[in-house]
């Protein structure tokens, strides 16, 4: 056997310390959500909930979109945590696309109705959405980044894009609880556009954020 | 049953290694290393033995660094092969980059012919000055210079021993050498 490889093996054995096994992706996603939801609730309280929130909670369209946004965030988190476990089926990365499709379909249907009735007459800029989603998604995004760095960076760009989608999905869920913007066209362009932009940016940062750490921060039992 | 007890599976060995069992880890590494070497050789026929060993060491170190991600309920080999494939792909990219940028020359010019241009390099430094300058370095830089320049360890070995990443080691040794040069020239 090559002596260099033997030396490396010897060092690995000498440096062996107990490690705490990572929980399953679903459990980690649940833990992430358990951390993110109270923060989102806090931001909604600080920004003060929209005045018609009680009425909106009985609006089927609003509820479908909110539930779809939340499930998109949750499934994106499960998929992100699965992509850092070697040996997991990579098709799991498609998991958030089903709720995302429901979310988009619901918004799209609303858009069509608006376009048929008024065209683009009521379309305006709403630059508040992007920073607001960033604000609501910041803590979940940081938590996500910290949790992702404990795994194997097998597909860094896909993993961080999924992590970004999870945080932005949760951010948009929170935003709609205090931002009284319900026009599907506006929501689709400004809110969904912000979510997709943030997902793209997070994906581009993948290789910066997730790298092989050749030794050994995982050696510590964490 | 007896065979199972005498030949623990890779899953059991890895599970034991996660709890810090060094003997189990040694058995595991001894078992998987030749398999990995064969696999890397079969997939990278164009590489020389040293490059094969480099990738093999990368795989072993990578596996070590993410051993917390192994779930004993799942088979071990797909977990290991996913890491191997990833490191092979990274190694392939690095090899392609090196091949694209490497310039082959017959003889590397070491220095210039004119004596005056060599005065800086050939100046004799007092070994006590060097020891003092080394002592004054921040500990990360001192460790990096000691391991890479004095003990002539490879980056991977130094990373394995120090717990620093290869990137941090490169930065630390670069800064360390620059600080030593500055300290020694200032003392002249």
* Separation CA A151–CA B69 (nearest Å): 6
3-class DSSP state of B21: coil
Residue B121 has pLDDT above 60, yes or no: no
* Pick from B60, B74, B159: CB nearest A87: B74
CB burial of residue B125 (10 Å; 0-12, 13-18, 19+): middle
Enter the tokens of residue A209. 């954020």
For residues A75 and A92, the answer to whether their CB atoms sit within 8 Å is no
Q: Which chain B residues are Cβ-neighbours of A11 within 8 angstroms? A: 157, 160-161
Other Cβ atoms less than 10 A from the Cβ of A105: the count is: 12
Enter the tokens of residue B51. 């490059």
* Pick from A4, A22, A213: CB nearest B53: A4
* Pick from A5, A16, A214: CB nearest B25: A16
CA A210 distance to own-chain centroid: 16
* Alpha-carbon dihedral sign for residues A27, A33, A36, A42: negative
**CA–CA min distance A94, chain B (Å):** 19
What are the two backbone dihedrals, phi and then psi, of residue A142, each rounded to the nearest 5 degrees?
-65, -45
Q: How many CB pairs under 8 A join A and B?
A: 135
pLDDT tens string B23-68: 999 999 999 999 999 999 888 877 788 888 888 888 999 999 999 9
Other Cβ atoms less than 10 A from the Cβ of A10: the count is: 14
* Pick from A4, A12, A150: CB nearest B154: A4
Give residue B108's pLDDT. Answer: 59
Give residue B153's pLDDT. Answer: 80
Residue B125 has pLDDT above 60, yes or no: no
For residues B63 and B70, the answer to whether their CB atoms sit within 8 Å is no
* Separation CA A135–CA B29 (nearest Å): 46
Enter the tokens of residue A176. 């709609």
Residue B116 has pLDDT above 90, yes or no: no
Alpha helices (H) along chain A: 3-14, 25-47, 53-56, 60-83, 97-118, 129-148, 156-178, 184-186, 193-204, 206-209
Residue A222 has pLDDT above 50, yes or no: no
* Pick from B57, B66, B80: CB nearest A4: B57
DSSP output for B109-135: --S-SSGGGGHHHHPPPPHHHHHHHHH
Q: Which chain A residues are Cβ-neighbours of B80 within 8 angstroms? A: 86
The mean per-residue pLDDT over the stretch A186-202 comes to 83
CB burial of residue B21 (10 Å; 0-12, 13-18, 19+): middle
Say whether B68 and A18 touch across the interface (CB within 8 A). no
Say whether A214 and B56 touch across the interface (CB within 8 A). no
The mean per-residue pLDDT over the stretch B143-169 comes to 81
The mean per-residue pLDDT over the stretch A72-92 comes to 93
Residues 36-65 of A with CB under 8 A from B: none
Nearest CA in chain A to B68: A21
* Separation CA A73–CA A176 (nearest Å): 14
Lowest mean pLDDT among A130-144, A199-213, B158-172: B158-172
Nearest CA in chain A to B169: A214
CB burial of residue B47 (10 Å; 0-12, 13-18, 19+): middle
> What is the rounded end-to-end Cα distance, in angstroms, of chain B?
73
Q: CB within 8 A of A24, min separation 6: which ones?
A: B71
Where do we find the tokens 């860094």? A156
CB burial of residue A50 (10 Å; 0-12, 13-18, 19+): middle
Nearest CA in chain A to B81: A87
> What is the rounded end-to-end Cα distance, in angstroms, of chain A?
34
Q: Which chain A residues are Cβ-neighbours of B166 within 8 angstroms? A: 214
Q: Which chain B residues are Cβ-neighbours of A212 within 8 angstroms? A: 62, 65, 87, 90
More confident residue, A137 or A13: A13
Say whether B160 and A8 touch across the interface (CB within 8 A). yes
Give residue A217's pLDDT. Answer: 39
- Tell me: ipTM over 0.90: no
Give residue B5's pLDDT. Answer: 45
The mean per-residue pLDDT over the stretch A98-117 comes to 83
């Amino acid at each position: 056997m090559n002596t260099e490889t033997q030396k490396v093996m010897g060092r690995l054995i000498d440096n062996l310390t107990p490690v705490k096994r990572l929980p399953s992706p679903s459990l980690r996603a649940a833990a992430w959500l358990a951390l993110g939801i109270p923060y989102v609730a806090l931001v909604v309280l600080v920004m003060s909930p929209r005045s018609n929130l009680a009425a909106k909670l009985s609006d089927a369209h609003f509820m479908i979109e909110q539930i779809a946004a939340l499930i998109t965030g949750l499934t994106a988190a499960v998929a992100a945590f699965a992509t850092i476990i070697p040996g997991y089926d990579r098709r799991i990365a498609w998991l958030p696309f089903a709720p995302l499709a429901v979310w988009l379909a619901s918004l799209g249907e609303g858009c069509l109705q608006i376009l048929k009735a008024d065209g683009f007459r009521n379309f305006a800029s709403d630059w508040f959405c992007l920073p607001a989603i960033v604000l609501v998604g910041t803590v979940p995004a940081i938590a996500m980044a910290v949790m992702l760095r404990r795994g194997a960076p097998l597909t860094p760009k896909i993993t961080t894009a999924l992590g970004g989608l999870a945080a932005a999905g949760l951010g948009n869920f929170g935003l709609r609880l205090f931002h009284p913007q319900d026009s599907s066209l506006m929501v689709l362009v400004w809110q969904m556009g912000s979510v997709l932009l943030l997902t793209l940016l997070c994906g581009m940062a993948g290789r910066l954020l997730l790298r092989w750490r050749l030794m050994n921060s995982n050696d510590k039992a964490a | 049953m007896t065979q199972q007890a005498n030949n623990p599976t890779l899953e059991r060995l890895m599970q034991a290694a996660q709890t810090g069992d060094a003997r189990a880890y040694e058995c595991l590494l001894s078992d998987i290393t030749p398999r990995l070497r064969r696999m890397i050789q079969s997939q990278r026929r164009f590489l020389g033995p040293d490059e094969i060993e480099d990738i093999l060491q990368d795989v072993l170190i990578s596996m070590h660094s993410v051993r917390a991600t192994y779930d004993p309920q799942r088979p071990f080999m797909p977990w290991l092969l996913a890491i191997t494939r990833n490191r092979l792909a990274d190694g392939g990219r690095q090899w392609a980059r090196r091949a694209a940028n490497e310039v082959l020359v017959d003889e590397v010019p070491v220095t210039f012919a004119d004596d005056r241009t060599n005065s800086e390099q050939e100046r004799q430094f007092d070994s006590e000055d060097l020891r003092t300058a080394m002592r004054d370095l921040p500990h990360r830089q001192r460790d990096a210079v000691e391991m890479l320049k004095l003990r002539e360890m490879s980056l991977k070995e130094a990373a394995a021993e120090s717990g620093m990443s290869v990137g941090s080691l490169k930065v630390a040794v670069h800064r360390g050498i620059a600080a030593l040069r500055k300290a020694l020239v200032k003392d002249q």
